[in-house]
Structures are given as structure tokens and as C-alpha cells.
């Protein structure tokens, strides 16, 4: 999948690209049918909403679920990011965020690279997210909100929020958010919220400031996020468990474009359970030979 010159310009200007309905209903169903079984597991890789049983985030499904292992190697997900970064990629993080009806909590304003830098010692912002909607996304079920062009500021000041939700996040002060929104256009486009059918895809810069509100509707808003990082930019610290921040820096090899609808061999190293090593952490900085 090749990006056009206009898409390159839009990404540079706004920090994101939106592809409505780029995956067919048949392709999307191969993923959605897998989610309930994954969410039902009582494993560390399922982080639940604060004080509730609903899953907030399922991590690393590409290591134990065949449909998601294929998605992790899908050319429509991987190739645009590789084109923008100009380098082979590895999977820094893979998550299925479940903003469930009536239960999905907020994601505060943040930059993903802020967390990757502060927690994982990722050297630069040569990493980004690409996401696919597994449900229709509307204004009612907690859609993502972006501040266009906010990636141009680079890394902004943030604080480590350990209390608001069940998942710790490096979040941005409301005053700075107000400034960024005003600079992006205020009420005239200072916040945008891409919405569309299941199977839509969003690609966004690691420094793009974004958030989402709680889901007060009866409709789920489940999305899959691949956080892809340039191999040379791999993390330097294993402070977080491996199921959250991966430690295998092997370049991703893509599968054929029809991989969600046909059988292709993929490795599932965690199919028999989460290995003990995936829970080990260290605050030491890794040393690599020059």
C-alpha cells in the first residue's frame, strides 16, 4: 500500500491519516469474532477498567491469536508506516482497546511517544500508531480526538497519572491543551474526531496529542492499535512487562494482502500461556555495542 504525495503532505501538516472502510466487513469479522474469547481470559495481559470487569486493554494478542498475528503483518497496516519512517519496523506494542458500551472510561490527553520515551527509553519519535476500528465509531461511543498539527511541538510537558484510570499514562495539563487547541484553530478545527465504519484505519504520529471521552452509549468501540517503531530506534529499558513493551526487535515481514481471509502460517509463541519472562522488568538502561 503506497501513500500519495498529497497524503505525505497531509500527514506532515496534521500528524494523522484516516482511511474509512479500508478493511472489508469480511476481513473485520475475522477479528471481531476473536475478541470476546480474548477478553474473557484472566491473564495479566487483560487490563480491566478501574473498579469494573470490562476490559480496557488487551495486550499482545498477536503472540497468541492467529487472526491478530496476521493483522500484525498486514501490508495495509505496516507498509504506510514503513514508508513514512523510511526504515524496517518492529512491533513495539500491540493492543486491543475495548471502550465497551456504558463502561469504557476516558483516555486522558497525551502523546504516545511521551510514554515510550519516559517509560521505555525509546530514543526518538521514530514510531507511530496505526489503528483499525472493529466497531462502527460515531460521536456517541467515545471516538478518538486529535489536535491537528500538535505533533509539530515535539514532546511536551506531561505528568505521570497513576490514579485517574486503571492504566498509568503520561498526561498533559489542561492549560497546555487549551493553547494547543487554540493554535490548531480553536472551535474551527482545533480538535478533530475521525469517525467511520468498522474496518476503518487511522495512522497517527507518536507526538500527536490525542484523547477520548468515556463511552456512555450502549455501543462498543473496540479498536486495535499497532505501535510500530523503526528498528534502529528500539527501546533501551525494560521497565514495563514484555506484554506491554516488546523486546523482540526483529523486522516485521508482511504477509500477502489477503491474509485475513486465507490461511498463512504465523508463529504464536505465547499460545500455551504467558511466559514468566514476559512479567520480568528492569530499570537498568540497556547497553548496545556501537
Model confidence at 166, in pLDDT bands (50, 70, 90)?
A: low
- pLDDT at residue 21 in the model: 97
Residue pair 18/192 in contact (Cβ under 8 Å)? The answer is: no
- What does the alpha-carbon distance between residue 77 and residue 200 come to, in Å, rounded to a whole number? 11
Element (H, E) at 67: helix 66-71
End-to-end CA distance of the chain: 34
The structure's pTM equals 0.93
Can you tell me the mean pLDDT for 22-34? 98
Q: In sequence order, what E strands does the chain have? A: 16-19, 46-48, 55-59, 89-99, 107-110, 127-133, 144-146, 159-161, 169-171, 201-205, 210-212, 221-230
Tell whether the model's pLDDT for residue 118 goes beyond 80.
Answer: yes
List domains and CATH numbers for the chain: 5-279 (2.60.120.620)
Comparing C-alpha atoms, which of 104, 122, 119 is closest to residue 206? 122
Q: How confident is the model at residue 54 (pLDDT cuts 50, 70, 90)?
A: confident
More confident residue, 283 or 289: 283
Q: Which residue has the higher pLDDT, 100 or 158?
A: 100
Look at 156 and 42; give whichever has higher pLDDT: 42
DSSP 62: G
Instruction: Evaluate if residue 220 carries a pLDDT over 50.
Output: yes
**Residue 255: band (very low, low, confident or very high) from pLDDT cuts 50, 70, 90:** very high
CA distance 211 to 26: 29
pLDDT at 165 over 80: no
pLDDT value of residue 290:
46
Confidence of residue 128 (pLDDT cuts 50, 70, 90): very high
Q: Which residue has the higher pLDDT, 50 or 204?
A: 204
Amino acid at each position: 500500500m503506497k501513500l500519495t504525495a498529497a497524503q505525505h503532505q497531509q500527514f506532515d501538516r496534521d500528524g494523522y491519516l484516516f482511511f474509512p472502510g479500508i478493511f472489508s466487513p469480511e476481513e473485520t469479522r475475522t477479528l471481531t469474532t476473536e475478541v470476546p474469547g480474548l477478553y474473557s481470559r484472566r491473564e495479566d495481559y487483560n487490563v480491566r477498567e478501574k473498579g469494573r470487569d470490562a476490559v480496557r486493554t488487551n495486550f499482545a494478542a498477536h503472540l497468541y491469536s492467529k487472526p491478530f498475528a496476521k493483522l500484525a503483518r498486514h501490508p495495509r497496516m505496516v507498509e504506510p508506516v514503513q514508508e513514512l519512517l523510511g526504515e524496517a519496523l518492529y512491533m513495539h506494542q500491540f493492543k486491543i482497546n475495548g471502550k465497551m458500551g456504558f463502561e469504557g472510561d476516558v483516555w486522558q490527553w497525551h502523546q504516545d511517544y511521551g510514554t515510550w520515551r519516559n517509560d521505555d527509553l525509546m530514543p526518538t519519535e521514530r514510531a507511530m500508531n496505526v489503528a483499525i476500528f472493529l466497531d462502527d465509531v460515531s460521536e456517541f461511543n467515545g471516538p478518538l480526538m486529535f489536535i491537528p498539527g500538535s505533533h509539530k511541538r515535539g514532546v511536551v510537558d506531561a505528568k505521570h497519572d497513576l490514579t485517574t484510570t486503571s492504566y498509568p499514562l503520561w498526561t498533559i495539563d489542561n492549560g497546555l491543551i487549551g493553547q494547543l487547541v487554540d493554535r490548531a484553530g480553536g472551535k474551527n478545527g482545533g480538535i478533530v474526531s475521525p469517525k467511520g465504519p468498522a474496518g476503518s484505519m487511522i495512522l497517527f504520529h507518536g507526538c500527536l496529542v490525542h484523547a477520548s471521552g468515556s463511552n456512555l452509549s450502549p455501543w462498543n468501540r473496540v479498536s486495535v492499535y499497532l505501535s510500530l517503531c523503526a528498528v534502529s530506534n528500539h527501546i533501551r529499558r525494560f521497565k514495563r512487562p514484555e506484554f506491554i513493551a516488546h523486546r523482540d526487535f526483529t523486522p516485521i515481514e508482511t504477509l500477502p494482502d489477503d491474509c485475513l481471509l486465507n490461511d498463512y502460517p504465523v508463529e504464536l509463541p505465547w499460545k500455551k500461556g504467558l511466559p514468566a519472562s514476559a512479567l520480568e522488568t528492569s530499570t537498568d538502561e540497556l547497553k548496545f555495542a556501537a
